[in-house]
Amino acid sequence: MQSDDLFLRKFCRQRPRPPLATVNFDSKRDDPFLLLGLHAAPPEPDGFFRALSAPTGETPKPAKPPKPEGLSKKAKPSPPQIPQPGPYDNLGGGAWVRNFAHYDVQSILFDLLEATPSSPSQGGGSVGGAVEDPDQCLLDEGDGNDNELLLSCPHFRNEMGGEERAGLGNTQGRGGLWLSLRNPNDAVSVLEEPRESHVQQQGKSNYFIEHADLGAHYYRKYFYMKGEYHQNFFGIDDRLGPVAISFRREEKEGSSGAQYNYRIIFRTTELKTLRGSILEESVPSAARHTTPRGLSPKRLLEFIIPELNLHCLRLASTSPKVRDTLLKLDEQGLNFQRKVGVMYCRAGQSSEEDMYNNESSGPAFEEFLDLLGERVKLKGWEKYRAQLDTKTDSTGILSLYTRYQDYEVMFHVSTMLPYTANNTQQLLRKRHIGNDIVTIVFQEPGALPFTPKAIRSHFQHVFIIIQVEKSCSDHTYYRVAVTRSKDIPLFGPLFPKGARFPRSAAFRDFLLAKAVNAENAAEKAEKFRSMATRTRQEYLKDLAENYVTTTPIDSSTKFPLLSLGGKRKDKLKGAKGAELHSAGALVWAVRATSGNEEETGGQKLPCLLGVSAESVVLIERYTRRVVFNCCCRDVIGWKAVTDSRAIGGPCLDIFYERGEAVSISVMDSQAEEIREMVQRLELVTRGCEAREVTPLRDGVGQPGFLMSEEGFVTDLQRFGYAESGGLQLGARVVRLCGHALVHLGPEERARLLRTAHKIHITVIPPDENGKPRRSERGVRGSERWMGIEDSGEGRHIETLFSLSVLSENTDSSEEEWQSIADLATACRSILEALSPLSPLHPSQPWWSDRRVLLCAAPWQEKEDKAVLQAEVQSLRQNNQRLQEESQSTVSRLIKVTELLCNVNKPC
């Protein structure tokens, strides 16, 4: 965690705080230098990294209880235009106004109850807001997951491989490879902006950065950098404590005429911030007027946050420090500099003292360091130094440094830090590695299994254990295991059980992504959340006390409101449906399951559905984590039931990517919300309403249509039952007899079409041009592979991890893949021109569409690279043969034409 001058000044002036509620296996006092990662004073030999007793001193004043709403003189009743709470609002996890468009995921989870001093989360509760039982904390014995690399440890959770991400839409087998191409749920942050704006930050990397609050750039991007005037208000609310609010009015992009959008940021001491916008025309007309100056900030807050005491707010001063402090406050959790410890464990070693006392490194460790980064001289080093001395070489002469995506990573390598003879604690090494949140433990063959019990530090929350096999050879492999503090969520990239990683750039990419995501996830631990909350509170309090004017919010001069007098009661509604055109995410309370009809009895998760102009997300309200996400351009259709008398009540199935589905439902009294969701999907996606078709078999028992492996209808019997039943060429079958088509193999599909009592299919009609509806990922995505050796079976397994080629030995470049795609397109065009598909024969099986299979072959799953190259070569040969045939045909046509012309010439 980074320190700052403001926090240090406030820390020196304030009274001592009670000890932090921690979830680690030891108690620990709040040492200011250790908490901040500073080393202004030399560490004490015996107690710097050991558990110390709680500090004694003056007891801080207890938190002031909140005033009852009914007794507050300044409290006002909620305006009647505020929507009523949803059916599942008692679960917690966010409160919202339907017309407000949220900028990112954490804004949807913003909850005023968490910011009140009486909230459990302020007392060191869990992520869900419930206080953890101290007895349960003491009884935790770990997860019991052991192997030869890592042992189970109390208050830690081990990752040995084979773990799966929790969420909706996760499929096994055939679907698992495709799902790996999707953004991990923990990598989803900003919802208003296109996916490409964040994917581009990856560069050539193969993995997504997870658990990063990218929405923290909202103030910088839409307020600070715009150069246009915006307003800030600060105050100290009786219940919420110090608050800071930013307003900006902007003309809506792409609008014909004067339409305005209001961007708002509402900050409390809680780390979650309300960020988003609201269209002027969607605000109830009682708060609007006809002047060009726009709405009053007071009226906007009365509509969006009626619980806030507006009388405490004052207009911020025009000091440049106000903008800079707000920028630093919002981006407090964003840090693109990472320090990672690296400990060297020889054969027969496992203790902290043994690893710290390895004076030099062996060839296997040196080979690993060469892969991990580059050695740099510290003296005169001008880039990120991670508290290392760059002037006098007191912390060593060399260090290990690298860059990964937008991050600078400096490694604290134990053997590169100064070695002190006859000092078993090696404090000059321990003062750096012991303050690193993430530590890599490198094990030589024969090293004893690692356990966090051997480490006496309260900052090292994640350990990544790497064990080498066949080092310094052409067949060097690494095995991986991870252990993390139990209050840290699972982070990616995940890996198969028993996997062995070859020494390659792919493994380096994997390891750096794991280390960066580990620290991002660790910042959600209670220890670091408490520290960040305290820093945030000091920022807000300083702004509210020292950088305000005497102008209250109701007399602000920027957005004056003409008095409406008695007319306010006449109009209370905004333009109906105006909010559906917002770019941010609109939110509904729903219950969600995966969309497979065969999964009966599955528990429905209470979720928040957010639909923006770019993304669709589902956030579970218990865990407050994203359990489903997809891009709006990947939504191909939906099926809505708005009749409350239907079985299951009002519900909505959303079909995406390859025809997978997620199903959401609402209370019977909330059927109108299903219609709102459909209207929103119609505006932000290219999908359409799905149709139910029940084709009858013909006289020989055939269904009368052909479909490709992806489910596209490629041929229809003219005037057959399927065509008369509403089936169209180019339609996409997403369900077959109640089963998701994407989960059925060719044999299962054929069996259902042949033996089902009644054929019932759900199809997505083609677009207005008659073209099949495909997701953007289905058109542009290409499956690329990473080779990992499965030690259990002694063979290479192909595991799809991401969008890019992970092997450094691959011969295929981007141009090669593009040429393959062009080649397949050319083959398809020639085949369609020269070899039209023969009519459907009763004895012809439905999957025998050779044309479709041939065109789809370059993107089908290949057993290995040799098969792929063979098929590419075959395609090239077919292309050459077809070109020769076409040239021959043209030559014959020319000769025939010449003969006909000669015959018709007069003698």
* Mean pLDDT of successive 10-residue stretches along the chain, which has 907 residues: 42 41 36 34 34 36 41 40 43 66 93 63 36 54 88 92 79 43 83 71 73 92 85 91 92 69 92 91 64 78 88 91 92 91 93 92 94 93 92 92 93 94 88 94 94 89 94 92 93 91 93 94 89 91 92 62 37 65 92 64 82 93 90 92 82 91 90 92 92 82 84 84 82 89 88 86 89 71 39 35 34 49 56 43 36 34 58 75 74 70 56
> Does residue 840 form part of some domain?
no
Q: Order the strands of the 635-641 sheet from edge to edge.
A: 625-631, 615-620, 605-611, 586-594, 660-665, 651-656, 635-641, 688-689
- Residue 665 phi/psi, 5-degree rounding, is -140, 160
What's the pLDDT score for residue 287? 52
706 and 658: one domain?
no
CATH of the domain at 647: 2.30.29.30
Amino acid identity at 513: A
| Residue 417 to residue 415: CA distance in whole angstroms | 6
- Alpha helices by DSSP H, listed for 347-466, are 352-356, 363-372, 427-433
Cα–Cα distance between 562 and 541 in angstroms, integer? 33
Asked whether residue 610 falls in the same domain as residue 758, the answer is no
Q: Do 487 and 514 belong together in one domain?
A: yes
- Specify the residue for token string 């290409």: 782
Spatial distance between the Cα atoms of 492 and 511, rounded to a whole number of angstroms? 10
Q: Do 615 and 701 fall into the same domain?
A: no
Tokens of 149: 């690399």
Secondary structure string (H, E, C) spanning 858-877: HHCCCCCHHHHHHHHHHHHH
E strand intervals along 537-683: 548-552, 586-594, 605-611, 615-620, 625-631, 635-641, 651-656, 660-665
Please classify residue 905 by burial: count the beta carbons closer than 10 Å to its beta carbon, then call 0-12 exposed, 13-18 middle and 19+ buried: exposed
What residue numbers bound the domain in which 385 lies?
337-523
Tally of domains in the chain:
3
Interacting residues of 508 by C-beta distance below 8 A, sequence separation 6+? 371, 372
Q: Residue 778 and residue 708: Cα distance in Å, rounded?
A: 14
Is 148 a domain residue?
no
Q: What does the block give as tokens for 152?
A: 């189970």
Residue 3: inside a domain: no
Residue 706 belongs to domain with CATH number: 2.30.42.10
Q: How many CB atoms lie within 10 A of CB 192?
A: 23
pLDDT number for residue 860: 41
Which residue, 184, 149, 189, 399, is CA-closest to 275? 189
Q: How far is CA 526 from the centre of its chain?
A: 21
**Are residues 344 and 487 located together in one domain of the fold?**
yes
Residue 222 lies in a domain: no
> pTM, whole model, 2 decimals?
0.73
Mark which of 774, 792, 812 sits at the end of a domain: 774
Nearest residue to 816 via CA among 764, 868, 748: 868
Check whether residue 505 and residue 381 sit in a common domain: yes
- Report the distance separating Cα 461 and Cα 24, nearest Å: 9
Q: Are residues 378 and 408 in the same domain?
A: yes
| One domain, residues 700 and 677 | no
Collapsed DSSP state (helix, strand, coil) of residue 185? helix
Rounded-to-10 torsion of CA 696, 701, 702, 703: 20
User: Minimal CA–CA distance to 233: which of 300, 291, 176, 186?
Assistant: 300
Given this model, what pLDDT does residue 480 score? 95
